[in-house]
Amino acid sequence: MIAPGRWLGMLGGGQLGRMFCYAAHVLGYRVAVLDPDQASPAGAVADRHIRAAYDDEAALDELAAQCEAITTEFENVPAPTLAFLAKTRLVAPNARPVGIAQDRIAEKRFVAGCGIDVAPHAVIQTEADLDQVDTRLLPGILKAARLGYDGKGQARVANRDEARAAFIAFGRVPCVLEQRLSLDYEISVVCARTVDGATAVFPVAENVHRDGILAVSRVPGPHTRPALAEQAAVHATDIATQLDYVGVLCVEFFVLTDGRLLVNEMAPRPHNSGHYTIDACVTDQFEQQVRALANLPLGATTLRGAAVMLNLLGDAWFDASGQLREPRWADVLALPGAKLHLYGKTEPRRGRKMGHLTCVGATPHEAEHIAAAAARALGVPL
């Protein structure tokens, strides 16, 4: 166990790192953040901000010298960086699960190897691979294997010609071509696992995405049957166990119209769809991240009320004519059960994650009613 008062390290300076810092401070830890951005949201609240690139070995040595254990807040941190730090410090998650999550090809192979279903797909390394694609995969979605997030690096394609054009537009990088499926809805499971293999699973979130970005999460989900939620929780726990994972992991699933459950992707970190846990659960996902990193017992994940989480993008800062203005925070905060979280970003941009709002009620109907009023005040869809 790492005792409170000691230093923990964070690779990455975004909002997830910022919320990790808050949770660590509540438990009495100090945090050093390594991030190259001077305006880092996490760096602004950390006890120390080391401004350096993620492959700067001198800076990594400095981080390791100060911190007893190190984690990350985004999956695209270079896996070699994690391996470098792991020579002298506990790094959780380590390079293996992060490396798998960084590559859709490796990720699908791993999940399928766990005996869990993924979408029918083909690996596309060259244009010649497209000529050999099973026609049952079209229409489909071409996804770049690496560095894709929030819908980036993805293209809907109806036939081989469109797939070839998208492959060329992506720069001929390795891709996955997934069959376009009859999707009913999407869910996600956030779980935590310790060094000794103890696990804790949060209630399943039912999610709505717009333009590839998470827009709304509802817990409990209006369509999610208990048996399906249990199956998803078992799959997420199995994946964490097979990875020998330490930390917080999110697994996203597709639920098809025929009732089948498929793994879409995983994120080796706390997740946007788990933000509801801050206000609606006994222990939130960031406190679990701290607990797992410090080798403390995991906290209870009991839901204290129904929740609807709205992702607040920079679009909410613009009026109908495109003029920048401050959202109506007072109207939102006047609503019972509305909890606002802003990430300290000074420049609103369309599509940029600026914060989130969680609406908590005694029942799903009450939480939905509060969320609808908040969405009207902010001028955002629900």
Sign of CA dihedral 28, 194, 189, 12: positive
Q: Are 214 and 222 in contact (CB under 8 A)?
A: no
pLDDT of residue 320: 86
- Stated pTM of the model: 0.95
The reported pLDDT for the residue numbered 76 is 86
Q: 382 vs 9, 210, 275, 349, CA distance in Å?
A: 36, 11, 17, 20
Distance (Å, whole) CA 365 – CA 220: 11
Residue 290 parent element (H or E): helix 285-293
**CA-based angle 217:220:226, to the nearest 5?**
130
Judged against a pLDDT cut of 90, whether residue 147 lies above it is answered with no
- Tell how strand 154-157 and strand 213-219 pair up: unpaired
User: pLDDT (tens digit, 9 = 90+) per residue, 57-102?
Assistant: 999 999 999 999 999 998 889 889 999 999 999 999 999 999 999 9
Closest CA to 108 of 176, 159, 27: 176
Residues with Cβ within 8 Å of residue 304, at least 6 apart in sequence: 280, 281, 282, 360
Phi, psi for 125 (deg, rounded to 5) = -105, -30
What percent of the chain has pLDDT above 90?
95
Residue 358 in tokens: 């969680």
Residue 151 has pLDDT above 70, yes or no: no
At 148 the pLDDT is: 65
Q: What is the pLDDT of residues 251-307, one digit of tens each?
A: 999 999 999 999 999 999 999 999 999 999 999 999 999 999 999 999 999 999 999
CA distances from 94 to 20, 79, 91, 260 (A): 17, 8, 5, 31
Distance in angstroms (rounded) separating the CA atoms of residues 69 and 9 = 6
| Per-residue CA distances from 183 to 120, 186, 198, 261, 373 (Å) | 13, 8, 33, 10, 28
Distance from C-alpha of 274 to C-alpha of 219, rounded to nearest angstrom:
10
**Structure confidence at residue 43 (pLDDT):** 97
Query: For the chain, what's the residue count?
Result: 382
| 177-204: pLDDT as tens digits | 999 999 999 999 999 999 999 999 999 9
Nearest to 75 by CA among 107, 37, 45: 107
Q: Tell me: the pLDDT tens digits for 311-347? A: 999 999 999 898 999 999 999 999 999 999 999 998 9
For residues 144-152, give the mean pLDDT: 76
